[in-house]
């Protein structure tokens, strides 16, 4: 088990990656369309047990000086092995009431399950909560119930979005949320999936959320997770995002990349990219 939080700076912004928990996934979920032999060879190269792929959930809080912004609220009570984000924030001296802005990258339980507590009350009760309009509409409509890929997550999305009422703001397209932090449409994983760009001075951090779940998705961008609702759209979002990350040499926080705090850089390599984790040795 890694640490529960990791502090770093982006320009003058103070950032803390917050560990929500660790969950094990399997290769059939992560690389749904990967040819068996190629996957076996890739797994060997990455020293990966296809039946036990570890994933941290790595949320992020940013103090810009003017705003206290949380990106994703973790799984709350919805996923065993996770749901520690709020406690870990408090450990760092950050009360839920001190967060003024919550950015929700998409409607899956590991990203918004911590919006409400066990009693259904809004946890970050002083915060405006931002989500893409397309995302809100998807999880609020029958489309999410009628798709077997999203049906299991509908109850969680609705129970964590509906209580927000007028604290919820819907955004359409690319949008600056507070000075230095902007949301970037990257649809495909879900219809309104968003990445977040954090910039201060000359420095830049790209929070990719679930545009990729594992470094292998950089090397084999066409291998998609079973969770992607529109794999073709996800592929074009992924390519735009990683070209941007590689060109700008941006620091990247990849929510699911092991180990926590999931920080690294994306390097162009052949027809894809490769992941270079930040060296965490003290
Ligand atoms: Zn996720």
pLDDT in tens, 243-255: 999 999 999 999 9
Q: 110 CA distance to ligand 1 centroid (A)?
A: 5
pLDDT at 235 over 50: yes
On the question of pLDDT at 216 being above 90, the answer is yes
| Measured distance CA(20)–CA(82) in Å, rounded | 5
User: Looking at the domain assignment, is residue 282 inside a domain?
Assistant: no
Ligand 1 centre to CA of 28 (Å) is 16
**Distance between the two ends of the chain, CA-based, in angstroms?**
17
Report the domain count for the chain.
1
Per-residue pLDDT, 279: 87
Any domain includes 216:
yes
Q: Supply the CATH number for residue 39's domain.
A: 3.60.15.10
Give me ligand 1 centre to Cα 255, in Å: 7
Give CA–CA dist 176/197, Å, rounded.
9
> Ligand 1 centroid to 11 CA: how many Å?
27
pLDDT at res. 1: 40
How many residues make up the chain in this entry? 282
Confidence of residue 9 (pLDDT cuts 50, 70, 90): very high
Residues 145-169: tens digit of each pLDDT: 999 999 999 999 999 999 999 999 9
Q: What percent of the chain has pLDDT over 90?
A: 97
Average pLDDT value over all residues in the chain: 96
Report how far ligand 1's centroid is from the alpha carbon of 209 (Å): 7
Distance of CA 83 to the CA centre of its chain: 14
- Asked if residue 57 belongs to a domain, the reply is yes
Question: Which residue intervals of the chain are DSSP H helices?
Answer: 27-30, 36-45, 85-91, 109-112, 133-140, 142-146, 154-161, 216-219, 231-248
Alpha helix locations (H) across 17-115? Answer: 27-30, 36-45, 85-91, 109-112
CA distance 33 to 213: 14
For the residues 192-201, what does the mean pLDDT come to?
98
Q: What is the mean pLDDT of residues 16-45?
A: 96
58 C-alpha to ligand 1 centroid (Å): 9
CA–CA distance, 87 with 9 (Å, rounded to integer): 22
Cα–Cα dist 262/258, whole Å: 6
Contact 217/238 with Cβ under 8 angstroms? yes
What is the per-residue pLDDT for 280?
Answer: 82
Q: Tell whether the model's pLDDT for residue 281 goes beyond 80.
A: no
> From ligand 1's centre to the CA of 179, what distance in Å?
26
Q: Does residue 85 fall inside a structural domain?
A: yes
Ligand 1: centre distance to CA 21 (Å): 12
CA nearest neighbour of 268 among 238, 243, 248, 250: 243
Mean pLDDT on 38-45: 95
pLDDT of residue 13: 98
Q: Could you give the CA distance from residue 264 to residue 251 in angstroms, rounded to a whole number? A: 6
Mean pLDDT of 34-43: 96
What pLDDT, on the 0 to 100 scale, is given for residue 188?
98
Which residues make Cβ contacts (< 8 Å) with residue 281, sequence separation at least 6?
none
Distance 38 CA to ligand 1 centre (A): 25
CA of 205 to the centre of ligand 1 (A): 18
The pair of structure tokens assigned to 282 is 């003290």
Let me know if residue 255 belongs to a domain. yes
Report how far ligand 1's centroid is from the alpha carbon of 167 (Å).
23
Could you list the residue range(s) of the whole structural domain that residue 73 is in?
A: 5-277
Q: Is residue 236 part of a domain?
A: yes
């Amino acid at each position: 088990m890694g640490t529960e939080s990791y502090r770093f700076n982006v320009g003058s912004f103070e950032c803390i990656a917050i560990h929500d928990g660790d969950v094990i996934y399997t290769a059939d979920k992560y690389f749904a369309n990967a040819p068996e032999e190629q996957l076996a060879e890739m797994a060997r190269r990455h020293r990966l047990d296809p039946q036990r792929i570890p994933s941290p959930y790595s949320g992020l809080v940013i103090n810009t000086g003017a705003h206290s912004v949380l990106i994703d609220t973790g799984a709350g009570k919805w996923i065993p092995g996770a749901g520690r984000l709020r406690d870990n924030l408090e450990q760092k001296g950050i009360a839920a009431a001190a967060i003024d802005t919550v950015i929700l990258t998409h409607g899956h339980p590991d990203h918004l399950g911590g919006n409400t507590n066990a009693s259904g009350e809004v946890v970050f009760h002083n915060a405006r909560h931002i989500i893409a309009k397309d995302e809100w509409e998807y999880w609020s409509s029958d489309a999410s119930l009628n798709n077997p890929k999203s049906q299991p997550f509908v109850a969680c999305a609705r129970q964590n979005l509906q209580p927000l009422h007028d604290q919820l703001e819907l955004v359409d397209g690319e949008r600056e949320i507070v000075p230095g932090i902007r949301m970037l449409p990257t649809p495909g994983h879900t219809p309104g999936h968003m990445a977040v760009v954090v910039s201060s001075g000359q420095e830049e951090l790209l929070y990719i959320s679930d545009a990729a779940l594992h470094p292998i998705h950089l090397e084999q961008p066409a291998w998609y997770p079973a969770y992607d609702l529109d794999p073709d759209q996800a592929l074009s979002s992924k390519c735009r995002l990683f070209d941007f990350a590689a060109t700008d040499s941006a620091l990247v926080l990849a929510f699911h990349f092991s180990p926590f705090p999931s920080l690294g850089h994306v390097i162009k390599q052949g027809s894809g990219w490769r992941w270079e984790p930040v060296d965490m040795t003290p």
